[in-house]
Chain A
Amino acid sequence: GDSVTQMEGPVTLSEEAFLTINCTYTATGYPSLFWYVQYPGEGLQLLLKATKADDKGSNKGFEATYRKETTSFHLEKGSVQVSDSAVYFCALHNAGNMLTFGGGTRLMVKP
């Protein structure tokens, strides 16, 4: 079946540091890929998505590129802020199925 693997957290960074959160997947066919973010005390919000190979999703300074050759969808941001502290979930979707979430990666940004 489909699966998503994320790097274990927490990831602790200083403000303005560069962020990478790794995500790799196993799936049949041509899934769509997503990053969801969960801020403390809230539900998940869709951060960005990519629907086909080589697509780049971007939002709020975050980016991720759908790499079919490496089955990866790593999340990056050039300069993190304290307000980016949250849990980030990588997810994939295959037609006819429900979303498959990765285990989540907690990001802590210190001033």
Chain B
Amino acid sequence: DTEVTQTPKHLVMGMTNKKSLKCEQHMGHRAMYWYKQKAKKPPELMFVYSYEKLSINESVPSRFSPECPNSSLLNLHLHALQPEDSALYLCASSQDYAFNEKLFFGSGTQLSVL
């Protein structure tokens, strides 16, 4: 199994809603990542988890809250988002943080904030 699975594929939410994005991998990878991608732009790193501990937070607003319940799962909790947060949110994993250049990406969650 070489897949990173993300759910849901599409999400529409209001600015007062609370929702969560989910990501799962069963490759035994110990590093997991959240990226944000705006249309026609490269992915921007948000968070990195290494061995289930948060290693990098790229100054992301607190309305985005990551969680890594175990080595296979990664969540992104969303609360009080703004319309400018609408984007494709990509989860990725790698064998280890030291191998963070070879990333396996999920298909993403297309988020629209109304």
Contacts and interface: CB of A to CB of B under 8 A. Distances in A.
A103 B101 CA distance: 17
B100 A101 contact: no
A106 B39 CA distance: 12
Nearest to A46: B102
Nearest to A89: B42
A67 interface: no
Interface of B: 4, 40-43, 45, 48, 56, 90, 92, 100-103, 105-108
Given A44-B105, A49-B101, A102-B42, 20 more contacts: A32-B101, A34-B101, A42-B107, A42-B108, A43-B4, A43-B90, A43-B92, A43-B107, A43-B108, A44-B92, A44-B103, A46-B102, A91-B101, A93-B101, A98-B45, A98-B56, A98-B100, A101-B43, A103-B41, A104-B41
